[in-house]
Structure 1
């Protein structure tokens, strides 16, 4: 089987391009997975802050209610 130089070069180029594209897709997928993981951590942290803020607002309302009751009792 005698292949011409042009065909050999074309096949080598095709294999190289395919391999390069595959490596690019894998690297991109890994980077996307890493970024999603980091965003999930940030969202988790943010949700913790929201939950703590909600609890503090409830405690603040209780404290304000107690202050109003104390002011009313002194009169």
Structure 2
């Protein structure tokens, strides 16, 4: 077998191995980033679910403060 063919096959093998390694590492990094993003979205969704409850509690608190202020004015 000619040395040029051997060198070409070795170069092809190295290129293929490097490419596959790069694809694998990039895929793992993409999966990691997606997991982090999903985690942040879950936290945001939890916050979005809790906000109406907090807003309702604030309305109740404001109403109670208004009642207390009106009682204080009557005295």
Structure 1 length-normalised TM: 0.77
What is the aligned counterpart of 1:40 among 35, 38, 47?
38
| Structure-2 separation of matches of 1:64 and 1:20 | 64
Where does residue 7 of structure 2 map in the other structure? 9
Unaligned runs of 5+ in 1: none
> For 2:55, what is the secondary structure of its paired residue?
helix
Listed one character per residue, the Cα deviations across residues 13-32 of structure 1 (whole Å, up to 9, x for unaligned) are 00110111011001100110
Where does residue 24 of structure 2 map in the other structure? 26
| Structure-2 separation of matches of 1:67 and 1:46 | 30
| Structure-2 separation of matches of 1:23 and 1:71 | 70
Listed one character per residue, the Cα deviations across residues 22-65 of structure 1 (whole Å, up to 9, x for unaligned) are 11001100110011001111111122222222210022223334
What do you get for the CA RMSD once the two structures are aligned? 1.8
Unaligned runs of 5+ in 2: none
| Structure-1 separation of matches of 2:4 and 2:65 | 90
Structure 2 length-normalised TM: 0.77
